[in-house]
Structure formats: structure tokens, C-alpha cells
Amino acid sequence: TAITVGVGKAAKQGVLIKDAETLERLKDVNTLLVDKTGTLTVGKPKVTDAFWSEEITEEVKGAFLFAEKQSEHPIAKNIVSYLAEQGILASLSENIKTIPGKGISFDYNDKAFFAGKLDDEPLEDSFRHAFKTLQNKEATIVVLKAGDKTLGLLGLKDKVKNEAKKAVNNLLEAGIDVFMLTGDNEHTAKQVSDELHLSGYFSNLLPQDKAQIVEEFIAKGKTIAMAGDGINDAPALAKAHVGIAMSTGTDIAIESAEVTLLHGDISKISDAIRLSKQTVKTINQNLFWAFFYNVMAIPVAAGILYPINGFLLNPMIAGGAMAFSSVTVVLNSLRLRLKKA
């Protein structure tokens, strides 16, 4: 009864919990690992700067636009919007492939192109200054390459969610460590971590790296909740003790998680943990009073007082007392609805 009330109350507060076991397990979480883009940040990074090679053509930019259109990643969607605003028309590109955690590759006019994460500083002197500029702005950097030749650098900035700082503070005050896992570069990751006063962060991660970090924390004896919204987060969500997905994220992330936050509101994580503790506390109260009540009442109903004072409990009264025991448990469980989570 307590679990039914707890799950129902969580749903009313915008937290969908798949099963009773998850609700109980949430109370033990002492470490939250959280994705950046779309979880701590709004997930709509805007292109703030673009640097292009003098050799790049409008057609190649169009092929870049067409390839990015095939991706569901928030960065890809905003690159498409930016290029469209610049008046770039899509050119048909082929063999478009997603490289998890890195970007996309595609072919155009029999040439191979790559667009995605920049792992290191470009070799060309013409882009060194641009790279430093984007680094200093703590922007997410996307590179466009034709083979080994750099054709463009794009810098994108994302806003931290309004509720993120309060959410992190609530978790830290509750004794829960919060670490950020991101595929983004070191500079951007540090800026977000410092702004939110996180316990720490890990940058330049691939999907398998996130899952490995979850396993490492578990090996240290931590009870882990992982929060994320993208395809890249799915392996880590599945590995964690409790996977928490944003309803604004991808279907595979939601499917991999046990908890879904409506509207992507991460402030609900601390509410869910607190509700879990309240629910388990109510279960323990119900068990204690049910056992205590029955341990005291059953001997009386069995006639233990008869040799002493001739008292026998009327079976109808005993039946009513038994029913009252069940009613007490239900009423105590319903008190959960009145508690502030």
C-alpha cells in the first residue's frame, strides 16, 4: 500500500517510476552521475562563431547541412538551423554514418568528410587562432574535415538550466555527490562544473567510457544513479543501480532507465530520493505496528487472560480488531500523500 501511494505521488510530481524495486532502491543512492547536454543544460546549443576555410564551397556546406539533418543530436539540429539561416541550401550527401560519441561521416562528390568532436588542435596554421578563440570562450567545438584537411570550425554555447543549480545544491546538502559525464571538451566541462559547484567532472567521453565510469564507481561501493537524455547515455543508464532519463530525451534513453523525469526537470531527482526514504520509512512503520499489534492481541484472543481473571475476547470483537489493524496500515500509508516530498 505504501509503495502504491509512493509511486502515485511521484507521478503527480512529474517523476515516473517503473517498479516498486526502483522506488525502494532510490533511498540508497549516494552518488549521482549526470550528463551535460540536455540534462544539466537546456540542450539547445547555439552556434556563436563559425570559421571557414577559403577553399570551402557552398555546395560542401550544403552537403554538411544535409548530413547533419539525419542526426537527432541537439548539436546537429542547431548546426542545421544556423546553416539554413545563412542561406545554405542542402546538397545531397551519401554514406552518412553516425560515429557514437564523435560525430558523423559522409561522402560528397566522391570525397570523404567528417563532422564532429575535435579531439586535438587543428594542424593548419590558419585555424590555430580560431581554435584558441573558441577555447577561450569555453565553447563546444565542432570541426568539419575533408580527409585530414580542416574546412571549418564551429563554436556552440549552451545555457545551464534555470533549475540545475538549485537541484545540485539540494543533492549536495543531502550528502549525495554529483559528478558530470560529458563528451564535450575539458574547457566547457570545467566551466559548467564550476558554475554548478559539482563534486567533479569527466570530459571527452565516449558512450562506453560513461558506462565504464559507472562500473568504477560501483566497484568502489557507491550506489549510483545515472541521469541522461541521449543515445550516448543509454549504456551508462543501463549499468547504474538507478537509471534516470529525461522525457525530453531519446526513446532509447527512456527505455534504458527505470525513472523518467517529465519536462526534463532534474530538480525532481532529490524529490524522488526523499520520497523513496519516506516510503520505506512508512513500510517499516507498518511492519512494526502490525507485528506489535498482533503479538500483543493474538495471545489475548487465544485466552491467555482466562486463567487469571476469566476474561475471554468475543470472536466478533477480535475480528473487528483484526480489521482495524489492516485499516491502520492503510491509513498510515495514505499519510504519505500529505507529506512534503
Catalytic (active site) residue 35: yes
Cell numbers 487472560 label which residue?
305
Q: What is the dihedral of CA 115, 120, 123, 127, to 10 degrees?
A: 70
For residue 48, which phi and psi values (nearest 5 degrees)? Answer: -100, -30
CB 142 within 8 A of CB 75: yes
Q: What is the 3-state secondary structure (H, E, C) of the chain?
A: CHHHHHHHHHHHCCEEECCHHHHHHHCCCCEEEEEHHHHHECCCCEEEEEEECCCCCHHHHHHHHHHHHCCCCHHHHHHHHHHHHCCCCCCCCEEEEEECCCEEEEEECCEEEEEEECCCCCCCHHHHHHHHHHHHCCCEEEEEEECCEEEEEEEEECCECCCHHHHHHHHHHCCCEEEEECCCCHHHHHHHHHHHCCCEEECCCCHHHHHHHHHHHHHCCCCEEEEECCHHHHHHHHHCCEEEEECCCCHHHHHHCCEEEHHHCCCHHHHHHHHHHHHHHHHHHHHHHHHHHHHHHHHHHCCCCHHHHCCCCCHHHHHHHHHHHHHHHHHHHHHHHHCCC
> Looking at this protein, which amino acid is placed at residue 193?
S
35, 158, 184, 265: which is the annotated catalytic residue?
35
Tell me the catalytic residues: 35
